[in-house]
A = this chain, B = another copy of it.
């Protein structure tokens, strides 16, 4: 018989989301999270660098997928089409579990400014990753930032659409569609 149950990290994430939903982020202690997962505070911090990060798993992987998707697009494609390729790569690995947790996550984040800060940082990191990948393709400076910003908007808007119960489309389909809508709206600026 094993001394420890497996999947300690996943148990911690689930316990954290449950407790945050039940009693709020500020009112739940790291010790509480660890104990509900059958572990201790020290073990929690072995799996996550801090309390916020328990909700931001797989962040660096997402940025890497965006970079690779943009770098792998054919050289003849436009900046925005390269961004679409990056979104394809990034959205492909999302699981049904992530779709299910989406609304609860958003509710918890919306209720706490610390988590909002963390979320804003995540978003800017993703945008920065896209901008850098575009720059390496030779896209000129202001265009990189704008295309990346549109990609970031498309990603987050598509995610909330994807997690809506009525939705039947793929995250990737929604991302491409949202990006097209944003591009079209560009002509409404003046």
Contact = CB atoms under 8 A, between A and B. Distances in A.
A51 to B, nearest CB: 13
Interface stretch (A19-27, A114-122, A165-173): A114-122
Interface in A142-165: 142-143, 145-147, 149-150, 153
B149 A149 contact: yes
A189 B143 contact: yes
Nearest to A152: B149
A117 B118 CA distance: 6
A123 interface: yes
Contact of A80 (B149, B183, B190): B190
Contacts of A153: 145-146, 149
A84 to B, nearest CB: 11
B116 A146 contact: no
B124 A189 contact: no
B145 A189 contact: no
A1 interface: no
A50 to B, nearest CB: 10
Given A78-B190, A120-B120, 8 more contacts: A80-B190, A116-B121, A117-B117, A117-B118, A120-B123, A143-B185, A143-B188, A146-B153
13 contacts: A78-B189, A79-B189, A81-B190, A117-B121, A120-B120, A120-B121, A142-B188, A145-B182, A146-B150, A146-B186, A149-B149, A183-B189, A186-B189
